[in-house]
Amino acid sequence: MKKIISYIVMLCSLIMIAQQTPASKQSQDIAIVGATAHIGNGTIIENSLIILKDGKISAVHDGKLVKMDLTGMKIIKVNDKHVYPGFIIPNSTLGLVEIDYVRASIDEKEIGTWNPHIRSLIAYNAESKIVESTRPNGILLGQITPRGGRISGTSSVVQFDAWNWEDAAVKIDDGIHLNWPSCFTRGDWQLGGDTRLKANDKYTEQVKELTDYINNSKVYHKGKKSKTNLPFDAMDGLFKGSKKLFIHVDNEKGIIDAINFSKNNDIKNIVIVGGHEAYKVTGLLKDNDVSVLLEHVHSLPKSEDEDYDLPYKAAKLLVDQGVLVALQTDFHDTERINARNLPFYAGTCAAYGLDKEQALKLITLNPAKILEIDDKYGSLETGKSATLFISEGDALDMRTNILTHAFIDGREISLETHQTELWKRYSEKYNNQ
């Protein structure tokens, strides 16, 4: 009983100390002068001049070549600093779980196997303290994704400075998430099971169940609907092309089977999520225009015959073959904690072969393309949303990624979190004694 009460007190304390009030709409034109601009599409502009107007980027120039009248604008002089487009984290449960061991704060999955109608957006907590903690590292947008079941549900894209989920929404119900059956299985060591990897005897049966579900969905939409079926209604976007199918699968056979399954069922817009062995089937991925949300970079090889640094260089192996790749942080129960480290995973990819600006694309323009929001986000280009930040140094290096300003749709947001407050408090502890 005491443990339950302590959990309730902890949860209430988090609710009472809410996220900072969302920033007000941009009311004055802003000029960012003198920074090195990392456009996000692979190019860099030294000594840049960037104008923000009405929540959008109205101009991006080389400050040495173009002179503009900045009268009446708020001028931010940032010589020797760097400007980046806001980072985007796909396949995330940010805002769906607050405290892993407080059940009342967990809302990342529903019971049941077939849940395409479950919408993560309406469960998104815009005042999450964990969401707030990602912003000081430049992560300003995310794809909020449900978990569990064979079909987990429908994700949506949000920006990370809002009063509620309605205000946060950037792209509503962008895709459905499917957990592909595993080709292999092992017992649970906690229950005394055999932990050796072996073939999944039920794999063919599970794929057939999935195929039957897709076929039943198609029949439902073709026939006269005497009774509403919410899960089947949610599937309609896959067949019309308005939604993407995000297939969570890691091994080579599973990826091949998943792509063939999609082709056989006329599902044209698919994305592989995880893709540990995607580097083995780059030709198939490229030929079918399939992009990859690559697994957690700071992880270990999954078999004894793999290179020790495979997770670090996997992005390069795919990019070199022309596959569209973005990074995500899904890794068991630590994905929300690790979300703030997204830029440093891109930094590791740069250390293991990718050009720095190519690595930057893994968390800016590439995820924007995969999520189909690149018309507004993902790069510093005229006409796009003024969602960007200014860093004292290299944003892919944890030693130098120190933000001084951040903007979402032209609104200058707070970079304070409960963590920065504690840092300031305890950094003065010994100075005051």
Q: Is residue 217 part of a domain?
A: yes
Asked if the structure places residue 264 within a domain, the reply is yes
Residue 3 lies in a domain: no
Mark whether 107 and 230 lie in a shared domain.
yes
Contact present, 35 and 375 (Cβ < 8 Å): no
Same domain, 153 and 209: yes
Backbone angle region of 41, left / alpha / beta, with phi > 0 → left and psi within -120 to 50 → alpha = alpha
- Residue 234: inside a domain, yes or no? yes
- 407/317 same-domain check: no
Same domain, 244 and 192: yes
Residue 73 falls inside a structural domain: yes
Take residue 410 and report the two structure tokens written for it.
Answer: 């032209």
Is 430 domain-assigned?
Answer: no
The verdict on residue 17 lying in a domain is no
Q: Do 155 and 269 share a structural domain?
A: yes
Residue 294 belongs to domain with CATH number: 3.20.20.140
Domain-located, residue 148: yes
**φ and ψ at 354, to 5 degrees?**
-80, 145
CB atoms within 10 A of CB 366: 27
CATH code where residue 78 lies: 2.30.40.10
pTM as predicted = 0.92
Q: Are residues 343 and 276 in the same domain?
A: yes
Q: Are residues 40 and 130 in the same domain?
A: no
- CA nearest neighbour of 259 among 90, 268, 250: 268
pLDDT at 14: 45
Residue 289: the pLDDT is 96
* Residue 176 and residue 40 share a domain: no
Q: Based on the domain organization, do 167 and 59 belong to the same domain?
A: no
Note down the domain range covering 315.
87-377
Structure tokens at 386: 């003024």
Residues 77, 173: one domain?
no
User: Hey, is 30 helix, strand or coil?
Assistant: strand
| Secondary structure element (H or E) that encloses residue 390, with its range | strand 388-391
Instruction: Write out the H or E segment, with its range, that includes residue 214.
Output: helix 203-222
The answer on 361 and 219 residing in a single domain is: yes
C-beta separation of 403 from 119 below 8 A: no
Domains of the chain: total: 2
Shared domain for 70 and 215, answered yes or no, is no
61 Rama sector, left if φ>0, alpha if ψ -120 to 50, beta otherwise: beta
10-residue mean pLDDT profile of the chain (433 residues): values are 50 52 93 96 94 96 83 93 97 90 84 94 94 95 96 97 96 96 77 74 94 93 83 92 95 96 93 96 96 93 90 96 95 82 96 96 98 97 97 96 96 91 83 68
Please tell me the predicted confidence (pLDDT) of residue 189: 64
**Whole-number Å distance between alpha carbons of 86 and 405:** 11
